[in-house]
C-alpha cells in the first residue's frame, strides 16, 4: 500500500541553524500539507500546497518557514533560523484530488538546542 515517507525521523540542530525536513508524498496525490505537534499540545496546521504554490498557511508559518516541491516527488519544509520553540514533531500529509482523506507520514522529531 502506498504511504507517505519522511526523513529524517529525528533531527537535532542548534538554535539559529537552518533545517530542511523532507517528505515523499503518495505519488498521484495533488495536495500536500505540513503540520506540527509540540509535545503535549494539539496537532497544528502549518501550510497547504497545491499546483506548486501555497494555498493556505497558518499564523505559525511566518517568514522563517518555506516549502518547496523541487522535483515532483519530494516536498520539503525549510526553517531558516531555528528557535527553541520550533522543537516539535513535524508531520507531512498528502491527499488526492477527489478525496478529503489526508494520508500522514510518520513524522520528523525536531529538537532545537
Partner 1 sequence: ILNVEQSPQSLHVQEGDSTNFTCSFPSSNFYALHWYRWETAKSPEALFVMTLNGDEKKKGRISATLNTKEGYSYLYIKGSQPEDSATYLCAFNSGGYQKVTFGIGTKLQVIP
| Separation CA 89–CA 80 (nearest Å) | 17
The distance of closest approach from Cβ of residue 14 to partner 1 in the complex, given in angstroms and rounded to an integer, is: 25
Q: Residue 28, SS3?
A: coil
| Separation CA 54–CA 77 (nearest Å) | 12
Choice between 82 and 90, CB closer to partner 1: 90
17 within 8 A of 79, measured Cβ to Cβ = no
The distance of closest approach from Cβ of residue 95 to partner 1 in the complex, given in angstroms and rounded to an integer, is: 9
Choice between 14 and 100, CB closer to partner 1: 100
Query: Rule CB under 8 A: which residues touch partner 1?
Result: 3-4, 31, 33, 35, 41-45, 48, 50, 55-56, 58, 91, 99-107
Amino acid at each position: 500500500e502506498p504511504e507517505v515517507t519522511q526523513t529524517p525521523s529525528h533531527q537535532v540542530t542548534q538554535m539559529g541553524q537552518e533545517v530542511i525536513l523532507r517528505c515523499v508524498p503518495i505519488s498521484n496525490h495533488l495536495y500536500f500539507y505540513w503540520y506540527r505537534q509540540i509535545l503535549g499540545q494539539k496537532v497544528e496546521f502549518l501550510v497547504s500546497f497545491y499546483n506548486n504554490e501555497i494555498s493556505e498557511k497558518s499564523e505559525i508559518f511566518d517568514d522563517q518557514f518555506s516549502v518547496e516541491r523541487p522535483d515532483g516527488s519530494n516536498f520539503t519544509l525549510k526553517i531558516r533560523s531555528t528557535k527553541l520553540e520550533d522543537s516539535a514533531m513535524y508531520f507531512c500529509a498528502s491527499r488526492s484530488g477527489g478525496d478529503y482523506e489526508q494520508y500522514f507520514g510518520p513524522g520528523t522529531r525536531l529538537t532545537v538546542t
